Amino acid sequence: MATNRTFTMIKPDAFEAGNTGAILKMIENAGFKIMAMKATQLTPQLAGKFYEVHKERPFYADLCGYMSSGPIVAVILEKDNAVEDFRTLIGATNPANAADGTIRKIFAKSIEANAVHGSDSDENAALEGNFFFSQAERVS
Ligand code: CMP
C-alpha cells in the first residue's frame, strides 16, 4: 500500500554549508508538504538510539559521532507514496552512485556526510517521526 508520510533529517554537513533552504525548496517543489519541522542537535546517545538498527555495522560509531557533531533539521513530510518518492528524490546513500538531479548528487559530500536522511519503510517513517515530534508538535 502506498503511504503518505516519511521522515527526513537535513544532516550536519548540509546545515553547516547553508543548504537547508535549497534542500527544503527541492522537497517542496517535488510535491511534499512539511507537517513538522525543527532544528536541533543530537547528543551521541540520541544519535545512537536513532540509528540503533545499524549498531552492528562497522560505521556505527563514526555515524553517531558525525550525526551529533552539529545542528540538524528534522522534518515530517507528506505526499502520496511518500517513502518511495522521497528516496527517489534524494538518490543513493553514496553520492558517488546518486542519479543526476537528486539531492545527494547535488549536496552530499560523502557516504557519511550525505546531506539528508530518508526513512526506508512506512514503519520506520512513523518511528522516526515520533522520535523527534510529539503529537502536539506535528500536524496530526
Ligand atoms: P542514512 O540514510 O541516514 O542511514 C544510515 C547512514 O549511515 C547512511 O545514511 C550513511 O550516511 C551512513 N553510512 C556511513 N557509512 C556507510 C556505509 N558504508 N554504508 C551505508 N551507510 C553508511
- Each residue's pLDDT tens digit, 76-108: 999 999 999 999 999 999 999 999 999 999 999
Q: Atom 10 (ligand 1): residue with closest C-alpha?
A: 112
Measure the CA angle with vertex 136, ends 65 and 66; round to 5°.
5
Distance CA 121, CA 13 (A): 24
Maximum CA extent, the chain = 39
Amino acid, res. 6: T
Alpha-carbon distances, residue 120 vs 8, 22, 72, 87, 125 (angstroms): 10, 23, 19, 8, 7
63 lines ligand 1 (CB under 6 A): yes
The answer to whether 117 is a known catalytic residue is yes
The model carries a pTM of 0.96
Total domains, the chain: 1
Domain membership of residue 39 as a residue range:
5-137
CATH of residue 19's domain is: 3.30.70.141
Distance 137 CA to ligand 1 centre (A): 27
Tens-digit pLDDT profile for residues 114-128: 999 999 999 999 999
Using a 6 Å cutoff on CB, does residue 93 contact ligand 1? Answer: yes
Q: What is the pLDDT of residues 12-37, one digit of tens each?
A: 999 999 999 999 999 999 999 999 99
Helix-strand-coil split of the chain, %, nearest 5? 45, 15, 35
Atom 2 of ligand 1: nearest residue by CA position: 117
Residues 26-68 have pLDDT tens digits of 999 999 999 999 999 999 999 999 999 999 999 999 999 999 9
Ligand 1: atom nearest CA of 114 is 11
State the distance from the centre of ligand 1 to the C-alpha of 121, rounded, in angstroms.
Answer: 16
Q: Is 72 in the pocket of ligand 1 (CB under 6 A)?
A: no
Angstrom CA distances, 63 to 43, 72, 110, 118, stand at: 12, 14, 12, 15
Q: Which of 5, 11, 79, 117 is catalytic?
A: 117
User: What is the per-residue pLDDT for 3?
Assistant: 72
Cell, residue 34: 512539511
